[in-house]
Structure 1
């Protein structure tokens, strides 16, 4: 059994699918394993239109939460 099998996953980001993919890529390029969870619900309002609720979540292992949060907090800084 792998050591990660019993470590909980925690959410570090929620947004559109393309934003979540970018965040996951950023985290993984920094050495933090990340996974995506799709919470989109499709609500059909007519035969030709629909809307999305929820969003795509980025999850990391609980032990990586602080590091991941720091990476995301500084992602826009160019200093």
Structure 2
């Protein structure tokens, strides 16, 4: 059943509701991408947001190495 869900989502839902087109339009209107001659490129604003997102993810969601933690008890 789960495998079929992915197939239906990708092949039917995304196509029927034009989700890629909608998302690209949103990003173009927000100024994070520009579309020229069929190519999608990040703007400076888009690059900044992407960089902040990558940094935030690395800081907040990185695995913690319990052996590397130095805890002082005195």
Pairwise TM-score range, normalised by the shorter structure: under 0.3
Larger radius of gyration, structure 1 or 2?
2
- TM superposition score normalised by structure 1: 0.26
* Structure of higher RCO (CA pairs closer than 8 Å, 6+ residues apart): 1
The structure that is strand-richer by fraction is: 1
